Amino acid sequence: IFRTLRVVRTVPLFVKLRTMINAVANSVFSLMWALSLVVFTMLMFSAVFLQGATVYITRNLQSTDPMVHENVAFLDEFFHSLPMGVLTMFMAITGGVNWWEAERVLLDIGLQYGVLFLFYIAVMFLALLNIVTGIFVNDAVEISQMDRDIVMRFEQDKKKQCVQCLRTLFHEIDFNGNGVVTFDEFKAHLVQNGPGIFSYLGLEVWDAFHVFEALDADGSRQLDVDEFVDGCMQLRGQAKTIDMVTLMRESKRMMNHMSRANRQTCTKIEGLNSLLKTIMRMDRTTSIRTEQSSAEHYSPMMEQADRDEPVPAAPVKEIDFEI
């Protein structure tokens, strides 16, 4: 039995059946809560109708009116107890009893009971049952999305269908049928047909030139069918999480590389600055030593020159002779 079940699990024909079985098996708790809500709603309404039916039967038990007698018989059959009232509420929404028959009798009992019964029918049909159906559909979708085999098969089928559509589109763009698409052919197809087919395939074609450049991986200015299909598959849809993570990692790697290059540049600049200071210091020291050496060589010569300098003669005073 288990081997048979494994074989059935792998056969594509039984994928839908497997999804339904998984949805039902995993919706047991939701089914229990939904049934509890439905039964509780029916219980509240049936209690109100049971009270009205009891009062009506008590007041008209001895009546000889055929219409009243018919109403009493109907109420005695369908509202003689609380469980029977709940069953009547259930049959009214599932087709077991024509709800107009119950509505007609309840209108004879009182207008408020007729309006309340209409409200019950509206709530059950338009709100509660649709909500319960939506819960089960949502559970089925979640189960199908959680099933790895179903998701993988669905993605593979979707990818195959998209590739086939892209190949058909390539042959439509290739007007001359030479197996390659040039930029002129690509642009002419966009001008003639618009970006509708690309949007259907999940491609945002905003500019023919930039899209063609993005598809032309080898830069040959021509697209073959494989290059066109692979490029379009990469450009499909919005940016995914893996694309954003890859871009962030590339940006982080580039920032780290730039930071290392900046640190190396700063280190080299500091080294050059230190070397320049050392050279300037050595040049200043050499200049000082040269000046000192020149000064030491110049001092004896100055002393010798001072010794060889003649003594100046005493000044001659002028004598004025007065006559």
Indicate if the pLDDT at residue 260 is higher than 80.
yes
Q: Which pLDDT does position 314 carry in this prediction?
A: 47
Task: State whether 11 and 98 are in the same domain.
Answer: yes
CB–CB of 237/220 below 8 Å?
Answer: no
Average pLDDT, whole number, for the chain? 77
Residue 201 sits at the vertex; the CA angle it makes with 197 and 203, to the nearest 5 degrees, is: 90
Q: Which pLDDT does position 68 carry in this prediction?
A: 87
Q: Is the dihedral of CA 196, 197, 203, 209 positive or negative?
A: negative
CB–CB of 208/183 below 8 Å?
Answer: yes
Task: State whether 2 and 141 are in the same domain.
Answer: yes
Task: State whether 41 and 97 are in the same domain.
Answer: yes
More confident residue, 104 or 149: 104
Contacts of 116 (CB under 8 A, 6+ apart): 45, 48, 49, 106
Least confident of 116-120, 280-284, 317-321: 317-321
Per-residue pLDDT tens for 154-185? 777 778 888 888 888 788 888 777 888 887 88
More confident residue, 264 or 147: 264
Task: State whether 191 and 276 are in the same domain.
Answer: no
Once rounded to an integer, what is the mean pLDDT over residues 103-113? 90
Instruction: Tell me, yes or no, whether 46 lies in a domain.
Output: yes
Least confident of 91-105, 126-140, 148-162: 148-162
Once rounded to an integer, what is the mean pLDDT over residues 29-33? 81
What global pTM score does this model have? 0.48
More confident residue, 213 or 55: 55
Which element (helix H / strand E) includes 182?
A: strand 181-182
Task: State whether 143 and 1 are in the same domain.
Answer: yes
Indicate if the pLDDT at residue 302 is higher than 60.
no
Give the residue carrying structure tokens 């839908």.
16
Half-sphere exposure of 296 (CA within 13 A, CB side): 6
Radius of gyration of the chain (CA): 51
Report which listed range, 110-119, 141-150, 299-308, is most confident. Answer: 110-119
Task: State whether 71 and 4 are in the same domain.
Answer: yes
Q: Which pLDDT does position 284 carry in this prediction?
A: 79
Instruction: Tell me, yes or no, whether 288 lies in a domain.
Output: no
Once rounded to an integer, what is the mean pLDDT over residues 80-91? 91
**HEC assignment per residue over 211-250:** HHHHHCCCCCCEECHHHHHHHHHHHCCCCCHHHHHHHHHH
Instruction: Tell me, yes or no, whether 106 lies in a domain.
Output: yes
Task: Give the domain extent around 72.
Answer: 1-151
Task: State whether 83 and 113 are in the same domain.
Answer: yes
Task: State whether 30 and 126 are in the same domain.
Answer: yes
Q: Which pLDDT does position 262 carry in this prediction?
A: 87
Instruction: Tell me, yes or no, whether 317 lies in a domain.
Output: no
Instruction: Tell me, yes or no, whether 307 lies in a domain.
Output: no
Indicate if the pLDDT at residue 194 is higher than 70.
no
Number of domains in the chain: 3
Task: State whether 257 and 127 are in the same domain.
Answer: no
Question: How many whole angstroms separate alpha carbon 140 and alpha carbon 106?
Answer: 40
Task: State whether 211 and 107 are in the same domain.
Answer: no
Q: Which pLDDT does position 322 carry in this prediction?
A: 40
Instruction: Tell me, yes or no, whether 85 lies in a domain.
Output: yes
Q: What is the CATH number of the domain that holds 206?
A: 1.10.238.10
Task: State whether 257 and 142 are in the same domain.
Answer: no
Q: Which pLDDT does position 319 carry in this prediction?
A: 40
Question: How many whole angstroms separate alpha carbon 203 and alpha carbon 237?
Answer: 6
Give the residue carrying structure tokens 């930039």.
210
Contacts of 120 (CB under 8 A, 6+ apart): 41, 45, 89, 92
Q: Is the dihedral of CA 276, 280, 281, 283 positive or negative?
A: positive
Q: Which pLDDT does position 115 carry in this prediction?
A: 93
